[in-house]
A and B are shown apart, each in its own frame.
Chain A
Amino acid sequence: MALDAALLRIAGPPTLRLYSWCPPAVSLGWFQRAEDVTEVAPELPRIRRLTGGAAIAHTDEWTFALTGTTDLLPDADLEAGYRLLHTAVRRALARCGVESVLAAPTAPAPSPRARDGALCFRHPVRHDLLAPDGRKLCGSAQRRVGGLGRLLHHGSIPRTRGPHTDPRVAVVADQREVAREELDAALRAEFASVLDLTPVDGTLTEHERRLADDLIAGAALLPPHRNRTLIP
Chain B
Amino acid sequence: MRPDDRRYLKSHEWCKIEDGVATIGITDYAVANLSDLVFLDLPQPGTSISHSEPFGEIESVKAVSDLYSPVSGEILEANQELPDDLDTLKTDPWAQGWMLKVKVSEESGDLLDAAAYEKLLESEG
A interface residues, Cβ below 8 angstroms from B: 29-31, 50-53, 75-79, 82, 109-110, 112, 115, 125, 140-149, 151, 223-225
Known: A30-B59, A147-B9. Contact between A225 and B39, CB under 8 A?
A: no
Q: Establish whether residues B9 and A53, one from each chain, have CB atoms under 8 Å apart when the complex forms.
A: no
Chain A interface main SS type: loop
Can you spell out 28 A-B residue pairs with CB atoms less than 8 angstroms apart?
A30-B57, A30-B64, A31-B38, A31-B39, A31-B57, A31-B64, A51-B63, A52-B39, A52-B60, A52-B63, A53-B61, A76-B33, A76-B125, A77-B33, A78-B35, A109-B36, A109-B61, A112-B38, A141-B63, A142-B62, A142-B63, A142-B64, A143-B63, A143-B64, A145-B65, A146-B11, A146-B66, A224-B41
Q: Establish whether residues B64 and A50, one from each chain, have CB atoms under 8 Å apart when the complex forms.
A: yes
Flag whether B94 is at the interface (Cβ < 8 A). Answer: no
Flag whether B5 is at the interface (Cβ < 8 A). Answer: no
Known: A75-B125, A147-B11, A148-B33. Contact between A112 and B39, CB under 8 A?
A: yes
Q: Which single residue of chain A is at the shortest CB-CB distance from B59?
A: A52
Complex: A224 Cα to B52 Cα, angstroms: 19
Known: A31-B41, A147-B68, A148-B11. Contact between A110 and B33, CB under 8 A?
A: no
Q: Establish whether residues A147 and B33, one from each chain, have CB atoms under 8 Å apart when the complex forms.
A: no
B interface residues, Cβ below 8 angstroms from A: 9-12, 30, 33-39, 41, 54, 57, 59-66, 68, 86, 124-125
When distances are taken between beta carbons in the complex, the residues of chain A under 8 Å from B33 are 76-78, 148
Q: Contact partner of A141 among B30, B37, B62, CB < 8 A?
A: B62
Complex: A145 Cα to B52 Cα, angstroms: 12
Complex: A125 Cα to B63 Cα, angstroms: 13
Q: Establish whether residues A148 and B65, one from each chain, have CB atoms under 8 Å apart when the complex forms.
A: yes
When distances are taken between beta carbons in the complex, the residues of chain B under 8 Å from A79 are 35, 62
Q: Establish whether residues A110 and B61, one from each chain, have CB atoms under 8 Å apart when the complex forms.
A: yes
Known: A112-B86, A142-B64, A148-B65. Contact between A78 and B34, CB under 8 A?
A: yes
Complex: A30 Cα to B65 Cα, angstroms: 11
When distances are taken between beta carbons in the complex, the residues of chain A under 8 Å from B11 are 146-149
